[in-house]
Amino acid sequence: MKRFSFSSLVLFSLGALLASQASFALPYFSIEPVSLPTHITTSSSAVASYIITNNTGIALNAIGIKNLIPGVVSQDTTSVGPLSPAVCTNPITLAASGSKASCLLQIKVSNRIANWLPEVCDSLKNPIYCSLPKKIYELTVIKYILFYKAIYDDKACKISAGPAIVVDTGVYCHPYSYYDSQGVLFKGAIANIRCYKDRIVADNYPFSPTCDPKAKIIEKNSALYVGACKEAISHEGPVFEKLIGYKYPGNIKCIDTK
């Protein structure tokens, strides 16, 4: 008479259950996106999140993401407070049913990526039972460059008027604020940013932080050259600006291809 070990019986039972569920076209795991970022910058990352639900009807404690890419996508287990469902652990543990049969999967995106889907498997050591989100939820993230507009009180750009404005070129309308030489709070925005080897070109909305097309003053195709000190429109006294920390990415769309 052939004997089976307890572990063999457990694996056989799991396989039978999962095979039974497959016959009903039910995925082993349901994976529904909560938020999918579309861009990051040279010095930042973003988090994509999904709700994973265990459909097998049995408790699993060795679930993992099969296709993580070092330096590009990784699992983030950081929790900023009580969430429902809770943030997924690593490895992921899911109950057979109830509220603990689901968790919030967080994927940290640290570099550009295209058409990626998290492949959730039980287990990573033996990834036989796997599921993917629907193809329409493929994650594509573009990386854009950052640059800085330093603000000065003098035309030689020597006397700083405050912290430099950080500009994310992946945002179409980028708001900013600073105090001019008379201490008046200055709020504006730049939009439609384009990158060239020696300059940044953008549409400047010096008095509209929302890029209002009806704003009284709009500077179309305003250029700020590398190394140049340029006078900016201000409420009262003169304010000067200078482009710093700019590295031409090799394309007009300001996409960081490194």
**3-state DSSP assignment of residue 4:** coil
Give pLDDT tens digits for 75-125: 999 987 667 799 999 999 999 988 899 999 999 999 999 999 999 999 888
Q: Which of 143, 242, 147, 142 is nearest to 195 (CA)?
A: 147
Q: Residue 202 corresponds to which amino acid?
A: A
Radius of gyration from C-alpha coordinates of the chain: 26
Give the angle subtended at the CA of 77 by the CAs of 71 and 82, to the nearest 5°.
150
pLDDT, mean of residues 38-65:
94
CA distance 30 to 60: 14
What pLDDT digit, counting tens, does each position of 139-183 carry? 999 999 999 999 888 889 999 888 899 999 999 999 988 776 677
Please, is 24 exposed, middle or buried when counting C-beta atoms within 10 Å of its C-beta (0-12, 13-18, 19+)?
exposed
pLDDT reported for residue 105 = 96
- Judge if pTM exceeds 0.85: no
Q: What is the pLDDT of residue 2?
A: 36
Strand arrangement, sheet containing 92-94:
92-94, 60-65, 120-122, 129-131
pLDDT at 253 over 50: yes
- Helical segments of 23-148, H only: none
Written as one string, the DSSP assignment of 59-77 is -EEEEEETT-BTTTEEE--
| Lowest-pLDDT choice from 13-22, 36-45, 238-247 | 13-22
pLDDT at position 181 is: 64
- Fold held by 27-143: Immunoglobulin-like (2.60.40)
For the stretch 189-215, pLDDT in tens is: 999 999 999 999 999 998 899 999 999
At 180 the pLDDT is 66
Distance of alpha carbon 217 from alpha carbon 200, whole angstroms: 19
168 and 146 in contact (C-beta within 8 Å)? yes
Please report, for the chain, the start and end positions of each structural domain, with discontinuous segments joined by +. Answer: 27-143, 146-244
Residue 39: what pLDDT?
95
